[in-house]
Amino acid sequence: MKFSHIAFGAAAAVLLAVGFVRAEVRISHAFTDHAVLQRHMPVPVWGWADPGEKVTVSFAGQSVSTEADESGKWSVRLSPLEASDEGRELTAQGANTVTLRDILVGEVWVCSGQSNMEWTMQMGDMDPNAPPKYAGTEEERTGKYPLIRYNQNNYTLSKTAYDDVLSNTGWVVCCDAGQGNCTAVGFHFAVRLQKELDVPIGLISASWGGSFIESWMPDEAWSLCPEITAFGEQRIAERTEAAECEYLHPGGMFYAKIAPWIPYAIRGTIWYQGCANSRDDDIYYYKQKALIESWRARWNEGDFPFYWVQLSAWANPSDDPNFVGGDITDCWYAETYKTPETDLGAKHGFVWIRNAQTRCLDLPNTGQAVSIDVGAAHDIHPRNKFTVGNRLAVLALANEYGKDIPCRSPQMKTVEFDGPRAIVRFDHCAEGLTAGKQTDRLFEAAPGEPLRRFALAGEDHIYHFADAVITGPDTVEITSEEVPHPVAVRYAWQMNPEGCNLYNSAGLPAVPFRTDDWDPAE
């Protein structure tokens, strides 16, 4: 799932060639023509010059001066700016003057993760026998969206933080097919934000197909959660001893693709990752928690918003509710996820990563876009990035921008067992629960339709699919003739719970859940 990359040694050589030339004023490559700066907060701008050289940065009527330190690094902070779609010049002046053009001010978000975030607007179905199915319409792929810009990081790795951003293109305007290489999830997220907020949107795109979460974590992240500290220390030691920085080693992508952007002013992060860690079980919770906390600490901007996509459905669906893994023998990338050493059976699989992702909602200012209903059984890269991007966008619009719209999926609140019935109550129901279906970009409510993929188990710990009925705006009752005395209930608790159809009135799908704490191997 690595679509392209630059060899570690070659990229490092290029960086050394440009990163330590101090003969003239230079601005970090985080800033290029067409950049978007973050509104309503101080804006750091930095670069390099001769040690002691005076540098003056000017933009939007502000001029701020400083001197390069003994290493040649300089940095200033512009006072908070109002949003502007007027393309203006930003200059850095010392012995020479550097001028950047067409700089806008709006909202800036980091887009990171693995291939489902990396998947671009121009990437279609890779099956040569199938007609191309893209992650956007023809108009979206080739039309004019001048107020949406993105900066795509190069594919490279490092054991230590890079001095500067590596990007072949710099900031790209989403016009006339310029958006072809833009992350599709990020593009749809940005289109919704731009439409609702009427300000420019900038996307910092830093993803890599097949990447493990470990590679996005700085070394200090591992000390933030004692449950994973020893594991992290071992992996860091292995990385130190390795001749090259392999892409699954801890920190490799953070130091090459995230660290050089800090302290660029951002609003927050959207994240789509987890497939590569599908054998982690619940330990993924500690890794994602440590990643979020470490990124926030590095940026030193408080608990900035961090929203992620819960893994979509994948694999052939199973009619056995006790089998939570998936048959992927005829699925694309099956060889990556099923080896002689492990498989995605009852103990391993997406259900445990989804559960770990949901647990991360205990961190402040976080949100989860549930995508269980827009997966693709035979392809780990579902093309419906529109729905995913929009579900991320409503989280941002409601939580960060104050829009009064439902943004969270129904989530199990309580369960009560009353004789043959299990009564489940949910939070985040908007105007009420409903059966429904997501078809491409359209949600269709289906009141009264039977709910699917609920299961009950008794003291024998054996689950049976059950009848489930919505009995109130936030309540579902579940029964099964095969389980006269239920003690546990599950919903959509499979790698591909095909047909799961519980939503709130806003068209957001219910979060998969279980009420038991039985060993995953059972």
Residue 1 lies in a domain: no
Least confident range of 5-19, 460-474, 498-512? 5-19
- Number of residues assigned to the chain: 522
Residue 299 lies in a domain: yes
Which of 55, 85, 101 is the last residue in one of the domains? 101
What pLDDT, on a 0 to 100 scale, did the predictor assign at position 23?
61
Verify that 132 and 251 share a domain, yes or no.
yes
301 versus 497: which is more confidently predicted? 497
pLDDT tens readout for residues 358-385: 999 999 999 999 999 999 888 889 999 9
Judge whether residue 16 has pLDDT over 60.
no
Verify that 111 and 170 share a domain, yes or no.
yes
Rounded to an integer, the average pLDDT of 279-295 is: 94
Going by pLDDT thresholds of 50, 70 and 90, the confidence category of residue 521 is: low
Verify that 394 and 470 share a domain, yes or no.
no
345 versus 208: which is more confidently predicted? 208
Dig out the tokens for 201 from the structure. 């949107």
What pLDDT, on a 0 to 100 scale, did the predictor assign at position 73?
97
Strands 421-427 vs 475-479: parallel, antiparallel or unpaired: antiparallel
Percent of the chain with pLDDT over 90: 77
Dig out the tokens for 471 from the structure. 């009995």
- Domain span including residue 53: 8-101
Judge whether residue 391 has pLDDT over 60.
yes
Residue 235 lies in a domain: yes
Verify that 436 and 386 share a domain, yes or no.
no
Residue 3 lies in a domain: no
77 versus 133: which is more confidently predicted? 77
CA distance 153 to 241: 27
Range list of H helices, 367-427: 385-399
Verify that 376 and 496 share a domain, yes or no.
no
What pLDDT, on a 0 to 100 scale, did the predictor assign at position 327?
76
> Cβ neighbours of residue 341 under 8 Å, at least 6 residues apart?
none
Verify that 186 and 263 share a domain, yes or no.
yes
Going by pLDDT thresholds of 50, 70 and 90, the confidence category of residue 195 is: very high
**Residue 165 belongs to domain with CATH number:** 3.40.50.1110
CA distance 402 to 406: 11
CA distance 164 to 262: 10
How crowded is residue 324: how many other Cβ atoms within 10 Å of its Cβ?
25
Nearest to 262 by CA among 299, 296, 293: 299
Verify that 161 and 192 share a domain, yes or no.
yes
Number of domains comprising the chain: 3
What pLDDT, on a 0 to 100 scale, did the predictor assign at position 477?
98
Judge whether residue 337 has pLDDT over 70.
no
325 versus 103: which is more confidently predicted? 103
Verify that 245 and 291 share a domain, yes or no.
yes
Residue 500 lies in a domain: yes
> Cβ neighbours of residue 85 under 8 Å, at least 6 residues apart?
104, 106, 147, 199, 200
Which of 78, 101, 124 is the last residue in one of the domains? 101
Angle between helices 284-299 and 226-241 (to 10 degrees): 80
What pLDDT, on a 0 to 100 scale, did the predictor assign at position 404?
97
Q: Which DSSP symbol is given to 256?
A: I
Residue 463 lies in a domain: yes
What pLDDT, on a 0 to 100 scale, did the predictor assign at position 179?
95
Residue 460 lies in a domain: yes
Judge whether residue 14 has pLDDT over 90.
no
- 500 close to 490: Cβ distance less than 8 angstroms: no
Residue 330 lies in a domain: yes
- 120 close to 97: Cβ distance less than 8 angstroms: no
> Cβ neighbours of residue 471 under 8 Å, at least 6 residues apart?
423, 477
The three-state secondary structure class of 174 is strand
The three-state secondary structure class of 452 is coil
Rounded to an integer, the average pLDDT of 115-127 is: 85
Rounded to an integer, the average pLDDT of 401-407 is: 97
Rounded to an integer, the average pLDDT of 147-159 is: 93
Judge whether residue 307 has pLDDT over 60.
yes
Lookup result for tokens 């489930």: 468
Verify that 303 and 203 share a domain, yes or no.
yes
Rounded to an integer, the average pLDDT of 335-353 is: 59
Going by pLDDT thresholds of 50, 70 and 90, the confidence category of residue 520 is: low
| Bridge partners, residue 276, by sequence | none
Lookup result for tokens 């024998």: 460
Q: What is the 3-state secondary structure (H, E, C) of 97-135?
A: EEEEEEEEEEEEEEEEECHHHHCECCCCCCCCCCCCCCC
Verify that 95 and 111 share a domain, yes or no.
no
> Average pLDDT, whole number, for the chain?
90
Which of 68, 101, 134 is the last residue in one of the domains? 101
What pLDDT, on a 0 to 100 scale, did the predictor assign at position 168?
85
Judge whether residue 192 has pLDDT over 70.
yes
Verify that 218 and 153 share a domain, yes or no.
yes
- 76 close to 172: Cβ distance less than 8 angstroms: no
Judge whether residue 268 has pLDDT over 90.
yes
Rg from Cα positions in the chain: 24
Judge whether residue 107 has pLDDT over 50.
yes
Going by pLDDT thresholds of 50, 70 and 90, the confidence category of residue 267 is: very high
431 versus 333: which is more confidently predicted? 431
Dig out the tokens for 257 from the structure. 């693709």
Judge whether residue 21 has pLDDT over 60.
no
Judge whether residue 6 has pLDDT over 60.
no
What pLDDT, on a 0 to 100 scale, did the predictor assign at position 124?
73
Percent of the chain with pLDDT over 70: 89
Verify that 502 and 451 share a domain, yes or no.
yes
pTM of the model: 0.93
pLDDT tens readout for residues 465-499: 999 999 999 999 999 999 999 999 999 999 999 99
